[in-house]
Structure formats: structure tokens, C-alpha cells
Structure 1
């Protein structure tokens, strides 16, 4: 059966966490559906949030881990929300090394029905000491140019959002969709106050640092230029059927993206975006 040709992709539970790698005292697990990273266990803790799988809705991405957003972000385009890549079965790359997982997605009749361009995507997740690195490669395999947006929608597990502090965004312009505001962040540290937050930060160049009580995570990226910080807060979380009560307190999304200025690829050209998550040894 050609899974890529399916007009109705489903999140069959048989593919949850099907692919695993262990290296440097860490473990990652991913699903073929969406090439979605579901787990990163390091230093005795789960570092990615994943919602209850029995609440996942067929035909949608799983809530948590690292969904791949392509070729549009949110409703910034004519297609479905966040694009189709996170809803499609990807092909695992055979022969990858013990420290990495890789998946490929290519256009087919279903994708061309949503976005009429030939392409090839490759998602790779690799482990090195204290670090998880993710890379998304996009190749224009067609005869005409196209523009796209992309993001790694990373759900970071935290003990409690009330203790989360993010530095590295001060002085950056952001769009706040909760208030329809375009502003510059003048605060030295972004603190979550327990309410909804939904911001796209533009032209983020420096590494970010996330503190969650005693835990610290360094976030770096290349190719990507924007950073999304998102948490639904209690009111919106209660409306999301794939979150359990109180789940919104256990994650914050810090996403590497190319959103505000899409990527343009001529025929045969390629683009790569990378995001790395690094722990301090005491984290």
C-alpha cells in the first residue's frame, strides 16, 4: 500500500514511537506520521511534552513532541492550518546511524491537491553529548519556483510554566496574535504568567536560554530566522480535546521557524533549517 497516496492520513497508534535511537545516555523516539519526534529522554528526564495519545484525533498531528510545519504556518496561506507535512506518513531512511533518525516526504497526488509543487523534505534528529539536533531540508524538485514557510513546532516539557524564564529575545520585534499587537520586547527576560501567550519573534540571531526552576536549556538555530513562543493558557487549553486538565502547565512551545519572510526556492535549489537543544550537565 502506498501510504503517501492516501487521501485520508490517520494517526494509527501502531506508528506512535515506532522508531527509536539511543546514544550518549539519551533516547529519542519518533513516529512515521509527520516524522514527528515524540520523546527525548536525557539526564533522567523527559524533555519533550506529549499529550495523551488516546485523545489524539485521526487525521491530525499528535499534540506535543516536534510536529513539522510545512508549507505554511497557521492560516498564513490558502491551505490547511500549519500545512500538510505533519499529517502525512513519511518514509524512514534506512541505514541511519545509531545516534540519529531520518525521514523523507515527497510530493504525491494528495499533497499536490493542497499545494501544487513538487518537493522533497528530509527531517533528521541526531544525538550528541547533552544535545538534540534537528534539521529540516527542503528541495524544489519541480520546474518552477515556489515560496514556503516552515517551523519545528517544539513542545518543551517543563515542571510548571510559572517558573519558566526565556532570555535572548530582548530587543526583538514580535507579533502578538492574542492582542493583535506589533511591538518590540523591551524586557530582559520573558516570563510566562500562566496565561495565553502566542508571539512570533522576528530576526532572532542569538541563542535562547530557557530556565525552568533548576533546569536550563540552550536553544540555537540556523536557517530559521523567527521564533514562536506559545502556550494556550487555561481557557484555550480547556477547549483542546487532546490535552488533559492541567497539561498547559507542563509545556511551552519554543519553535524555530521561517514564517514572516517565506523561503523562495528556484528549481533544483534547496534550503536547510536547524534547531539544537542543549542541556547543561546539571540540568
Structure 2
């Protein structure tokens, strides 16, 4: 008789770093490292990995883990004075043993609450007091849910502002066979052209070269269609008006020490974010940003486009 594994299990991961494994009864799972509050794995009930983590990822502080879902806080990219993507993704988080009440509609027992508070070192580079609470939950159907709650706990009466992203790396069969729907006709800032503003022209976004765009005022739902795997990822987001789409392509991939030369073919970042308009909190105020990911089977023709047009376009 097999022993049923607990829905939440704290154990050692790569290089002895602590991680939490979440399991749902049907066999789905997720893994979260305390280092970075970083989700590094999300598997469906067939045991297939849905997130991309580089084979060259360095699980060693202070380097952030390459792949999974890094958390960019309190700064996205180099939109400010801090290091690239802020510091939340390379700090050690704690398990939150006494989280405040959490309105939830999920019956899942597979969740963990983490908390990050500023260290003296952080306060030197970002002189604000805050509490960042993160809940990672695995739904009964295998959906992965991340909820961030950030509170200003400054006692000096000062507000603070931040930008934010769930920098999600999805695992895809072949980047040239993937398209993203839900961002058509929207304005975006192109990071490859000094953040110049453009309007998306395509019916759906497809990939044939490096892309690094911040889409503005995006819908709450975005889909990533992977033709070869006949799988669609659906992102649902709340409190996160922007969406980043990123693939480094071959030249940038070769330049990154913690990323394989050809791995760009098998990953795509689509990130729920708040970038264009930074979030400002007065003391005592709290912001909440939620991301829900699901993976559903899709037939080749299920999208809005004619497949011949996609292939020949």
C-alpha cells in the first residue's frame, strides 16, 4: 500500500536550499524555494513540467534562479536605482506562520504562505519598511495561484512606490510554433528600442526573433497556444495591468552564463506586471496582485487564426 504524501512538504532542494513541495490528490505538484520565494516547478497530473528552468540555473545565492517564477520587487528591470528586477528574488523568505485572514474560494489544502521583511542591508538601498506576503496555492484541478500582498509599514509617515512582475517562464515545445492571444491592438513599450511606444499590429503574437515588450492596460486573461504540444496556458491576473513578453533568442542566450545556448527555443516569458504606473502605498496601505495559471488541452484550430496563415505569415 502506497503511503499518501502530505499536500505540503518542507524539504531540501538543490545545493541544500530549502523548498516546499505542494501536491494535489490527482498528482499535480508545485515547488517553491524559500530562496527568492521562487516557484521552480509546476507539474500537471501526468507529471509533465509546465515551467521552464534552465539546465544551467545557478541555485546559489546571491544569484537569482534562472527560470520558474522569479518575483520582481520593488523594481522591474532597470526602471529605477536598484539592481535589475529588485531584490525579492534573491533574498531568503520565511514561512509565514500567522498570516492575516485570507479570502479564498479554493478548497485546496496544498498552499504555503511566505513572508519577506526588509533586512538592514535592504534598508540601505531601499529605505522603506514593508511586509510582503506571498501565498502559493495549487488548486484541485492543478491550477497554480500566486497572491502577493505588500503593505507599507513605514513609521515615518512616508509613502513608497514600486514596480512589480511575476516573471513567469513557460515551457514550450518550440518557440516558432507558439502564439500569444489577448494582446492584439494594444500599446507596448519596446525594450529593444529604448522603451519607445508602439501599437501591436498582429492578430496574435508569434515569434521569429528576440522580443522584449511591455504591453500596457492588458486584459485580465491572456492565452499562450503551443501548437505542437496541443496545450494552451491561460493566465488570469488581478491588480496587474501590464504584461511583459520576453524571449532572448540566440544571441542573448549565448551571452547569458546561466542559460543554455539553444534553450530559448523551449521557453517563453509572459509576465503579469505593474510597470508603467508604479504602485504607491501610504503607511498602513496594502496592495494585492494575483496570478492564476492553468494549462488546458487545445486542438490545433482552436484559436482565432487560420493555421495556414500562422504557418505562412
With the length of structure 2 as denominator, give the TM-score of the two structures: 0.82
Deviates more, 1:35-44 or 1:175-184: 175-184
Separation in structure 2 between the aligned mates of residue 184 and residue 282 of structure 1, nearest angstrom: 28
Q: Which structure 2 residues correspond to residues 247-258 of structure 1 after superposition, within 5 A?
A: 247-258=263-274
Structure 1 counterpart of 2:303: none
Separation in structure 2 between the aligned mates of residue 170 and residue 63 of structure 1, nearest angstrom: 28
1:59/1:171 CA distance change after superposition, 3 Å: same
Structure 1 counterpart of 2:260: 244
Which of 264, 277, 291 is 1:275 aligned to?
291
**Contact conserved, 1:130 with 1:280, CA < 8 A, in 2?**
no
SS in 2 for 1:280: strand
**Contact conserved, 1:20 with 1:101, CA < 8 A, in 2?**
no
Separation in structure 2 between the aligned mates of residue 264 and residue 212 of structure 1, nearest angstrom: 37
Aligned: 1:145 with 2:159: yes
Structure 2 counterpart of 1:83: 86
Moved over 3 A (4+): 53-58, 94-98
Q: Which structure 2 residues correspond to residues 59-208 of structure 1 after superposition, within 5 A?
A: 59-94=62-97, 98-128=109-139, 129-143=141-155, 144-180=158-194, 181-193=196-208, 195-208=209-222
Separation in structure 1 between the aligned mates of residue 180 and residue 190 of structure 2, nearest angstrom: 16
Please, what is the CA RMSD of the aligned residues?
Answer: 1.9
1:278/1:54 CA distance change after superposition, 3 Å: closer
Instruction: Tell me how far 1:54 sits from its aligned partner.
Output: 6.0
Q: Deviation per CA, 1:223-243, whole angstroms, max 9, x where unpaired?
A: 001000001010000000101
Deviates more, 1:230-239 or 1:176-185: 176-185
Instruction: Tell me how far 1:51 sits from its aligned partner.
Output: 1.1
**Contact conserved, 2:14 with 2:59, CA < 8 A, in 1?**
no
Q: Deviation per CA, 1:72-102, whole angstroms, max 9, x where unpaired?
A: 1111111111111111000023489741122
Q: Deviation per CA, 1:196-241, whole angstroms, max 9, x where unpaired?
A: 1000000102411111111111111000010000010100000001
Q: Deviation per CA, 1:101-120, whole angstroms, max 9, x where unpaired?
A: 22100112011011000000
Separation in structure 2 between the aligned mates of residue 206 and residue 66 of structure 1, nearest angstrom: 19
**Contact conserved, 1:50 with 1:65, CA < 8 A, in 2?**
yes
Separation in structure 1 between the aligned mates of residue 149 and residue 118 of structure 2, nearest angstrom: 14
Q: Deviation per CA, 1:46-92, whole angstroms, max 9, x where unpaired?
A: 00001125645641211000011101111111111111111100002
Q: Deviation per CA, 1:33-55, whole angstroms, max 9, x where unpaired?
A: 11000000014210000112564
1:54/1:185 CA distance change after superposition, 3 Å: closer
Separation in structure 2 between the aligned mates of residue 236 and residue 67 of structure 1, nearest angstrom: 19
Q: For the pair shown, which has the larger CA radius of gyration, 1 or 2?
A: 2
With the length of structure 1 as denominator, give the TM-score of the two structures: 0.90
Deviates more, 1:69-78 or 1:49-58: 49-58
SS in 2 for 1:248: helix
What are structure 2's unaligned runs of at least 5 residues? 1-12, 100-107, 300-313
What are structure 1's unaligned runs of at least 5 residues? 1-10
